[in-house]
Structure 1
Amino acid sequence: MTKPPLTLYLAAPRGFCAGVDRAIKIVEMALQKWGAPVYVRHEIVHNKYVVDNLRDQGAVFVETLAEAPDDRPVIFSAHGVPKSVPAKAEAREMVYVDATCPLVSKVHVEAERHHAAGLQMIMIGHAGHPETIGTMGQLPEGEVLLVETAEDVAHVQVRDPERLAYVTQTTLSIDDTAGIVAALQARFPAIVGPHKEDICYATTNRQAAVKAIAPRADALLVVGAPNSSNSKRLVEVAAKAGCSYAQLVQRATDIDWRALEGIASLGITAGASAPEVLVDEVIAAFSERYDVTIEEVETAKENVEFKVPRVLRQPA
């Protein structure tokens, strides 16, 4: 039986960003340096495949510092942590390594700088997301107010409308965030924004690639985890950019083949914490059913690299 033809548009860039790459490397190097077990507070990055792989190597994932023993190293996830977490680790004289993405750390520094200048902060982000919790936890209670939507801006109660600044989560939808920023500037004309966009280069680039593919594809799949903010935003961006069927899949086994019946073109991308091996797995699944022609759609080149902390570069 002949397979139906399928044009597969492969987004570039896709998958791992420099912050995720660095965070995974930190856990692997910590295991090499100190041996197993090494404790990791929260999933190092939001991807089950990655977490399971590191667990197999001897990483133990916990949600709170209280679950980690004093005498084993602990690593803080790429999403960042409130200031109280390293303070508790120091009080317990624990060895800890901070794997916070440097671009998230930049937002933390920004928030502290504005606070030192006497400004109250408004954070654009998702309630309950570890990055939002970490950023808001850099400053004292009440100094950072959270808004999730443009509608929230009308209801936020500030101390002084003339003394405000805003920061954003690094993994948001660029277009949605622009709308929220516009609402903030309309209500608080004196509000101070970041020197450079807080939404990170990887989020921006992956969304741009999806926008280039979405109008050309009958369907688009995002390889990523359901708790990955940047992956979920890619699904939303695809739908808004004109793709009639956009879906998040963790693995090839999650593909809804019935929903894809009759397609002639498909877009594939991956969130910033999804490894390329999972993209290959999805492509292989389509190659079994279709006569696949792959066309890479490249909208940017990435060559960003972040160093691991010095403690891991020194011998044990």
Structure 2
Amino acid sequence: MESEGEVKYRIISWDNKLLNNLPQKEPAGPLYNIDGPEGSVRRLHFPHCEIGKGKEKLTVAHVADGKVEIIQPQTVTDTHVIINIQSLSPFGLIFPRSETSIRAQVLLFYKKKTEHCKSKLNIHLLPANVPVKEVQKQHKSYTYIDTTSTCDLTPRRKYRLRYTNTVNTDNTVLQPKVVKFQRDCGPNYHPTFEILNIEAAEVTLILSEKKGKEVWTRFVDLITEPNSTIPDIAGADFVDEHRETLIQRFPSVMEFADCLIGKNMISTEMYENIKAKSTPQDKMRELYTCLDSVGRAAKQEFHNILEMNYSCLVSELGELSVHLVNT
């Protein structure tokens, strides 16, 4: 920030007419309409979902006056694309059309059976850089089931969902049987699959490629009351917002890594990758890579540790969040 002020953003629709002028390109994330005082923002960080060398092909589309300007990133990390800007208007990531896998997420929304409504479990397959809270806003009558949602999916490849449960009933309906995964970047987020008339207390969901390779499997408890809201929005957003500062200033990376592995939030491989880094900053960057991979519950846990053991740092960063000032 170069001056004090309030910056707001919202997700809007990509204009297909503009995309038609970009042959062999497709959205690689939501289109953000950013509004704030002129000249107040000079740099933007966009979350991305590319894996491997795919991130090197990311660029940013700047939409203004019915035209698209292609901006080459200043820096591309494993999780974000960073650009310098001169003015505010819609921005969004774009990527050459390809058949390579991306980081994705499986989001679950559940509605209990009532006198006037059948039970329903909605399953959303989305790119990993779609904000969970944006999806939840459109499905407020459902309860969000927080689970380890990360997986790798390939755009335009077909996937099949199967499920097993403790109650067999002829009334249970899964639809559709097979879908083609698409980069759904909003602003509307419709269910990919839905299971109707679930009477079981527990269900195991199995997502696989059409040819049979399993890509994501989870056990879901439908008796335990799911979260009707996403409890980790504030804490997880705090961790995302202050990423660069925490990478430079958080002193005890392995303390948090020990906590995460103790709660089965990260794998042994992830823990060893963090431990192997030579400096606290590199350990913290690797830890953030793990956090982005395993989901928002882990980021909330990080925030909880910060509040408990580093309250002065949290207060200092919180004051910066209230007023956007020049750093």
Same fold (TM over 0.5): no
- Specify which structure has the higher proportion of helix: 1
Larger proportion of strand: 2
* Superposition TM-score, scaled by structure 2 size: 0.23
Higher relative contact order (Cα pairs below 8 Å, separated by 6+ residues): 1
